[in-house]
Amino acid sequence: MTSLIPPGCPTVLTEDDRTGTSIETLRRAFMDNLFFIQGRFPEVATKNDYYLALAYTVRDRLLLRWLNSAKTYRDQESRTVCYLSAEFLLGPHLGNNLINLGLYEAVEEAMRQTGLNLKELLDQEEEPGLGNGGLGRLAACYMDSLATLEIPAIGYGIRYEYGIFDQEIRDGWQVEITDKWLRYGNPWEIPRPELILQVKFGGHTYSYTDDQGRYRVVWEPHQVIQGVAYDTPILGYKVNTANLLRLWRAEAVESFDFQAFNTGDYYGAVNQKIASENITKVLYPNDEQLQGKELRLMQQYFFCSCALQDMIRLYKQSGNKDLSRFHEKFTVQLNDTHPAISVAELMRLLVDEHLMPWEQAWDITRQTFAYTNHTLLPEALEKWPLDLFGSLLPRHLQIIYEINQRFLDQVRLQYPGDNDRLRRLSIIDESGCRYVRMAHLAAVGSHAINGVAALHSELLKQTVLKDFYELTPQKFSNKTNGVTPRRWMVLSNPGLTRLITERIGEDWVKHLDQLRRLEPLAEDRDFAAQWRSVKHENKERLAAYIRDRVGVTVDPHSLFSILVKRIHEYKRQHLCVLNIITLYQMLKDNPQLDMVPQTFIFGGKAAPGYYMAKLIIKLINSVADVINHDPAVRDRLKVVFLPDYNVTLGQRVYPAADLSQQISTAGYEASGTGNMKFALNGALTIGTLDGANVEIREEVGAENFFLFGNTVEQLQELWRNGYRPWEFANSNPMLKRVLDLIGSGYFSHGDTALFRPIVEHLWQNDRYCLLADYQSYVDCHQQVLQVYQDQAQWTKMSILNVARMGKFSSDRAIREYCQDIWHVEPVKIVLPATSYMTP
Ligand code: B1N
């Protein structure tokens, strides 16, 4: 048999159609699936039929590993990490699973022999967009690393029927289209219709003393909804570990309860069914902006309750009777405050339903949870109006009051008479209509609290959680984010992967520090030439995509400067626009100017209700329109907005970048992870001292990073003295000219009103200090252009960037979580040598 399986990649010994890995077997299994699952013969099969037949072929091989992992964990009662997240932004599965199985080349060949092109089949997959941006994507990278490091783990979340909306651009404006990702079915998930849990909402509570003299509380809900599990296997890279991602879908309860609440009212009953299913209909598309909507709180409680009930079920399944060792079996990470209600829910389950004394339950709860904070933005900090909270979760509100009272009693002992401190620390915000502060609930209910980059973790201790830090400094740590090199290098940049592997072997994919071994090659002319040609080919591919999708021709020889991420004022896409217009003015002033040809590429979605962000998209497109059509520019400047930026598009974009734009206002971007993906693919960064940029610069060396802008301290100083943005504009002729040009209607067919909100905000308020950083950014960009003219120098810096980026693997981040917070060990999964059919 021919085999393309790389050495070291585990395979099964038997060659049956469900698990075999030879090209012949794969081809046969594929045809079998086309026939018996899709019900098609080749003459009439569509590309999507072929994609699905291949997906099922790959899925069989996943299932083998998954079932063996599950069985091993069960037999060994393995300590398990539970990652609770309202978002998992997985991206397409097929390519990634082929890489992790070590079957990419074999399947490519099997498809070729069948007359098909694997790349075209990969393009068929509609990605599950169950997240907004960095936070959801981080959860996906962490699931990949947990499996790769052979750590028993379960991801718990929500199976949204509609993920993040698809973005279209019409007349320069963002238009949102519903994301029907399940339209053609989802071959990667396995529904578990028998795995159903009930979740209560609303109603009231009453208490009594039972016949053993115990104080008991009963929650009589107004409504009961059931959660159905949908399981997706998450395979590690070239290991047999396949972990579980379990997402919950809401359904109406049938039969008894259903009748009880709707006596004789059939129509009302059907309506209630629809209302129940609404809970998991749609992902809230707000990135870092709280919408205090009831349905959102319902979503959060729904999936947390399902997750915790499921853990208790698993715990009992492994023979344990009482729950006193729950925290030894499970460690639960809260991905921001979205699952923070879990703290009160676990208390409720232990105390009310399993009759555990409060103190013991509280001990277990705190030992179970750990909390990661992802933002300091005040408008993103979750707080729920007390009346809304109490009407939906009456019992949880009581529990939170009890937790709070006991907590504040302790604080009082430590800081007698310090009422101000009590007010600041309280889980209840007494201002206005009074609120539950979810960050405080998470902080009180966890044994560990972390930020996502060194700077962010420091600021967390100084600002949002300052009082908590003073109270329990030992709980705090930093865990700098990371990204998986499997998806973000091996899968998306095969050219670079091949080049690197030729020189240093393939170990780096699992041990990213090994990239250091590229350092000696930074001045190797032969290697540098190959490095450049890989980048050029990636740029050509992106240029072709841009021609097809946007209708703009860009020159792959120009400098590709890329800014892709959610649109937000703090991320300052409009600062990049100010620089572009500055370059444009320089060309207009001096038509003969010898300027490096540049292509600026933007991508990103705006929250549908975020007016300024949507106006920024319109601004980018309007400026693009004028510049791309101005003959005076002579193709030295192009601006492109890529519609519908998502994981799939990210995989095309990162490998094609020369320059990565990481230009947020210092102190606002908690970490950023796109910054890591760019640098790992050989882009140089122009950036501020914000989030993980700080650590990237430390690692790659200040001489290989284009730094600009005010530091956090300088900005604090600026505001302390009264920041007056108009002074920056009035004293800087080019800046004033650029702002005036936008305001004049030059980019809006003479409409002076259109962009006024942006221009006026910058003149008068400029919360994110664009004007204070403008000159520094423009100057820094000129340095970039200068270095780019020296291709040897640029390439050397690019190679050194990649060589020194090892720290930013999500494997490193997960190892730190395992050691410092979770205290879990790897569990080896061994596949049976005999067929899966042997009992
Ligand atoms: O989390 C990422 C970080 O790399 C980014 O810097 C950070 O901005 C991002 C409410 C959020 N913080 N907060 C959110 C997302 C959805 C939502 O409804 C907040 N996203 C981040 C990973 O650490």
Provide the residue ranges of all domains of the chain, joining segments of one domain with +: 1-76+92-126, 77-91+127-479, 490-708+769-809
Mutate to test the pocket of ligand 1, among 89, 130, 135, 142 (most ligand atoms within 8 A of CB): 135
Same fold: 77-91+127-479 with 490-708+769-809:
yes
- Selecting among 366, 396, 510, 566, the annotated active-site residue is 566
Domain topology for 490-708+769-809: Rossmann fold (3.40.50)
**pLDDT tens digits for 109-139?**
999 999 999 999 999 999 999 999 999 999 9
Q: How far apart are CA 176 and CA 522, in angstroms?
A: 45
Model confidence pLDDT, tens digit, residues 656-700: 999 999 999 999 999 999 999 999 999 999 999 999 999 999 999
Cβ density class 611-637: b for 16+ within 10 Å, e for less: eebbbbbbbbbbbbbbbbeeeebeebb
CA nearest ligand 1 atom 5, residue: 672
Q: Whose CA is nearest to atom 20 of ligand 1?
A: 135
Among 79, 461, 565, 618, the one annotated catalytic: 565
- What CA–CA distance (Å, rounded) separates 446 from 133? 25
Say what the pLDDT of residue 1 is: 38
Confidence band, pLDDT 50/70/90 cuts, at residue 271: confident
3-state DSSP of 493-530: CHHHHHHHHHHHCCHHHCCHHHHHHHHHHHHCHHHHHH
**Is pLDDT of 839 > 90?**
no
Q: What is the pLDDT of residues 541-579, one digit of tens each?
A: 999 999 999 999 999 999 999 999 999 999 999 999 999
Mean pLDDT of 347-356: 98
pLDDT value for 321: 83
Q: Which of 88, 282, 288 to mutate to test the pocket of ligand 1 (most atoms within 8 A of CB)?
A: 288
Distance between CA atoms of residues 22 and 110, nearest Å: 9
pLDDT bracket for residue 779 (50, 70, 90): very high
Q: What is the pLDDT of residue 264?
A: 74
Local confidence band at 2 (pLDDT 50, 70, 90 cut-offs): very low
The values of phi and psi at residue 285, to 5°, are: -85, 20
Residue 44 DSSP symbol: G
| Any ligand 1 atom below 6 A from CB of 375 | yes
- Please say if 571 is a catalytic residue: yes
Percentage of residues in the chain with pLDDT exceeding 70? 97
Structure confidence at residue 14 (pLDDT): 61
Average pLDDT score over residue span 605-617: 98
77-91+127-479 — its CATH code? 3.40.50.2000
pLDDT for the residue 256: 45
* Per-residue confidence (pLDDT) for residue 255, from 0 to 100: 53
Distance 121 CA to ligand 1 centre (A): 32
Atom of ligand 1 nearest to the CA of 672: 4
In this prediction, residue 260 carries a pLDDT of 53
Given the structure tokens 């990702």, which residue do they identify?
Answer: 181
pLDDT, average across residues 749-774: 98
Q: What ligand 1 atom has the least distance to the C-alpha of 284? A: 18
How high is the pLDDT of residue 632?
96
Query: Is 565 annotated as catalytic?
Result: yes
pLDDT over 50 at 505, yes or no: yes
pLDDT in tens, 627-649: 999 999 999 999 999 999 999 99
Ligand 1, atom 18: nearest CA belongs to which residue? 287
Q: What is the pLDDT of residue 273?
A: 82
Which among 331, 592, 600, 366 is positioned nearest to 472, based on CA atoms?
A: 366
Among 531, 513, 511, smallest CA distance to 522 is for 531
How far does the centroid of ligand 1 lie from the alpha carbon of residue 375, in Å? 6
CA dist 444 and 458 (Å) reads 19
**Total Cβ atoms within 10 A of residue 141:** 29
Backbone angles phi, psi at 82, to 5 degrees: -110, 120
Q: What mean pLDDT do residues 234-254 have?
A: 96
Average model confidence (pLDDT) for the chain?
Answer: 96
**SS3 label, residue 155:** strand
Is it the case that residue 267 has pLDDT exceeding 90?
no
pLDDT, average across residues 218-247: 98
> Is the per-residue pLDDT at 13 higher than 80?
no
Q: What are the tens digits of pLDDT across the range 39-74?
A: 999 999 999 999 999 999 999 999 999 999 999 999
Lowest mean pLDDT among 9-13, 86-90, 196-200, 715-719: 9-13
Q: By mean pLDDT, which of 267-281, 366-380, 381-395, 717-731 is the weakest?
A: 267-281
Asked if 395 and 219 touch (Cβ cutoff 8 Å), the reply is: yes
Q: Give the distance (Å) from ligand 1 centre to CA of residue 669.
A: 9
Q: Evaluate if residue 478 carries a pLDDT over 80.
A: yes
192: annotated active-site residue? no
pLDDT, residue 473, reads 98
Between CA 91 and CA 677 the distance in angstroms is: 15
The residue annotated as part of the active site, out of 11, 368, 673, 688, is 673
In this prediction, residues 89-114 reach a mean pLDDT of 98
